[in-house]
Amino acid sequence: MSTDKTTRANASQFFVAGELCRRGYLAVVTLGNTPNTDILCSNLAGTKAIHIQVKTFVPGGRTCSVGAKAEIYTGENFFWVLGGIPHPHSTAEFEYYIIPSLIMSQNVKSHHAAWLALPGMKGQKRKDSKVRTVLLPPHTSPNAWDISPYFNRWDLIEEKLK
Residue ranges per domain, the chain? Answer: 2-160
76 secondary structure, DSSP code: T
- What is the number of other CB atoms lying within 10 angstroms of the CB of residue 156? 14
Helix, strand, coil: what percent of the chain each, to 5?
30, 25, 45
pLDDT in tens, 71-128: 999 999 999 999 999 988 999 999 999 999 999 999 999 999 998 998 988 999 999 9
Taking the model in full, what pTM does it have?
0.93
pLDDT band, very low/low/confident/very high, at 3 (cuts 50, 70, 90): low
Radius of gyration for the alpha carbons in the chain, expressed in angstroms and rounded: 16
CA distance linking residue 111 with residue 103, whole number of Å: 12
pLDDT in tens, 36-46: 999 999 999 99
Classify the phi-psi angles of 125: left when phi > 0, otherwise alpha if psi is within -120 to 50, otherwise beta: beta
pLDDT in tens, 112-137: 999 899 898 899 999 999 999 999 99
Q: Which CATH architecture has domain 2-160?
A: 3-Layer(aba) Sandwich (3.40)
CA distance linking residue 36 with residue 143, whole number of Å: 26
Buried b (16+ CB within 10 A) or exposed e, 120-139: eeeeeeeeeeeebbbbbeee
